[in-house]
């Protein structure tokens, strides 16, 4: 997407008069408009595993990564997220991951976000 750089070093550019800002958005389909008018909530409560009971070996990394993503999406600071990951690891992971693994989960999560 403009104005990113192609691997060749050339800059992507919109074709004159064809950028998204030169176009009128399409009409939303009737089914979507009808869906948007609904007042009822269509979401169901989370029925998956509960971390309250603990995070067992085999799901520690993925669960802590998910928690980190949720905290990031809700606007927590990087320092706050790291501190919370350490606390949850020590309180709920059985057995707890070592701090180096927590740092890896934390740093990989932020690398992915910054590369998007």
Is position 90 within any domain?
A: yes
Name the one residue in this structure whose structure tokens are 């998956």: 48
Is position 96 within any domain?
A: yes
For residue 57, the 8-state DSSP code is T
Between CA 70 and CA 16 the distance in angstroms is: 40
* pTM of the complete model: 0.54
pLDDT at 113: 53
Is position 7 within any domain?
A: no
Is position 63 within any domain?
A: yes
Residue 90 reports pLDDT greater than 60: yes
Number of domains in the chain: 1
Is position 106 within any domain?
A: yes
Residue 3 reports pLDDT greater than 80: no
Is position 74 within any domain?
A: yes
Is position 44 within any domain?
A: no
| Per-residue pLDDT reduced to its tens digit, 28-72 | 999 999 888 877 655 555 545 567 778 999 999 999 998 998 898
Is position 108 within any domain?
A: yes
Containing structural domain, residue 85: 54-115
* Inter-residue contact 78 to 109 (CB < 8 Å): no
How buried is residue 84: exposed, middle or buried, by Cβ count under 10 Å (0-12/13-18/19+)?
middle
């Amino acid at each position: 997407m403009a104005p990113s750089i192609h691997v060749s070093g050339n800059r992507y550019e919109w074709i004159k008069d064809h950028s998204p800002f030169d176009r009128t958005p399409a009409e939303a389909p009737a089914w979507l408009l009808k869906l948007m008018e609904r007042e009822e909530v269509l979401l169901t409560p989370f029925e998956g595993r509960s971390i309250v009971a603990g995070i067992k070996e085999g799901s520690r990394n993925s669960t802590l990564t998910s928690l980190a993503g949720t905290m990031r999406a809700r606007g927590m600071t990087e320092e706050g997220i790291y501190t919370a990951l350490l606390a949850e690891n020590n309180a709920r992971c059985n057995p707890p991951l070592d701090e180096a693994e927590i740092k890896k989960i934390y740093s990989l999560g932020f690398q992915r976000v910054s590369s998007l």
